Amino acid sequence: MSAVVKLHDIHKSFGSVEVLKGVSFEIEKGEVVAIIGRSGSGKSTALRCINRLETIQSGTLEVCGHRVDDQSLDLRALRQDVGMVFQSYNLFPHLTVEQNITLAPRRVKGVPNREARALALESLQRVGLAEKIDAYPEQLSGGQQQRVAIARSLAMQPKVMLFDEVTSALDPQLTGEVLRVMETLARGGMTMAVVTHEMAFARRVANRVIFMHQGKVWETGPGDMLADPKTAELRDFISNGL
């Protein structure tokens, strides 16, 4: 096992507000890590720093061999290795599902059209939506759109997948659809960092859970640590039904 994501003493501020206060953790190849915590704890900011959507003030951050804290970083190369799925699906409404998925492989990697369509179909099969390849986003449910967003990331064949509260805008039934897809990816060996409020998913699927509180990694351990928190802060978090 070797770490493909390495954060060491990461500090990140927005103006005078320090959001990350010395965050350190690693993610091994093939590992699923769930990052949990209250709103404002820094979990989504940490995830966005991994993909260089946010820049850090200090610390070192390495992802798939890329030094993310290096100002000369090749962002295109980083984002070919790291896929990210957001709470909002960010699909282009005027493009079909196929066109949404193949846009990046064609433009970034130069994949020919026929090969790109085959890639889109394969990615859609992995999320259970192959029959929707010619549909438009408005013809899909929220859960289906989120699964297309996952397929879009998979089509770039990333080494690491980041999920930022991808089910928070979905009702329970649609949430189940998306979580089942993520669980299948986890079983297939995908390296994943998942910011989530779905405690059952974190406990069942994650190899490791990171509880963030007040901008720091407060407690970390296997999924079953949620049944026996060691800190009062995690115990309070779980008891509030978050």
Asked if residue 40 belongs to a domain, the reply is: yes
Domain that holds residue 235: 3-90+159-239
Please report the pLDDT score of residue 121 as a whole number.
96
Please report the pLDDT score of residue 108 as a whole number.
87
Asked if residue 122 belongs to a domain, the reply is: no
Asked if residue 149 belongs to a domain, the reply is: no
If one counts the domains in the chain, the total is: 1
What DSSP element (H or E) covers 62?
strand 58-63
Q: Domain with 27 in it: what CATH number?
A: 3.40.50.300
Q: Indicate the pTM of the whole model.
A: 0.94
Please report the pLDDT score of residue 242 as a whole number.
46
Angstrom distance (rounded) from CA 214 to CA 136? 41
Name the pairing type of β-strands 32-36 and 191-195. Answer: parallel
Question: CB atoms < 10 A from the CB of 39, how many?
Answer: 9
Characterise 128 by phi-psi region: left (phi > 0), alpha (psi -120 to 50), beta (else).
Answer: left
Angstrom distance (rounded) from CA 212 to CA 130? 37
Please report the pLDDT score of residue 201 as a whole number.
92
Question: CB atoms < 10 A from the CB of 174, how many?
Answer: 18
Collapse the DSSP code of 30 into the 3-class scheme (helix H, G, I; strand E, B; otherwise coil) and give the result.
coil
Please report the pLDDT score of residue 54 as a whole number.
95
Tokens of 41: 């704890």
Collapse the DSSP code of 191 into the 3-class scheme (helix H, G, I; strand E, B; otherwise coil) and give the result.
strand
| Per-residue pLDDT tens listing for the chain (242 residues) | 589 999 999 999 999 999 999 999 999 999 999 999 999 999 999 999 999 999 999 999 999 999 999 989 999 899 899 999 998 888 999 999 999 999 999 998 899 999 999 999 999 999 999 999 999 999 999 999 999 999 999 999 999 999 999 998 888 888 999 999 999 999 999 999 999 999 999 999 999 999 999 999 999 999 989 999 999 999 999 987 54
Asked if residue 126 belongs to a domain, the reply is: no
- Could you say which DSSP state residue 242 is in? -
Asked if residue 234 belongs to a domain, the reply is: yes
Angstrom distance (rounded) from CA 237 to CA 160? 28
217 neighbors 225 (Cβ within 8 angstroms): no
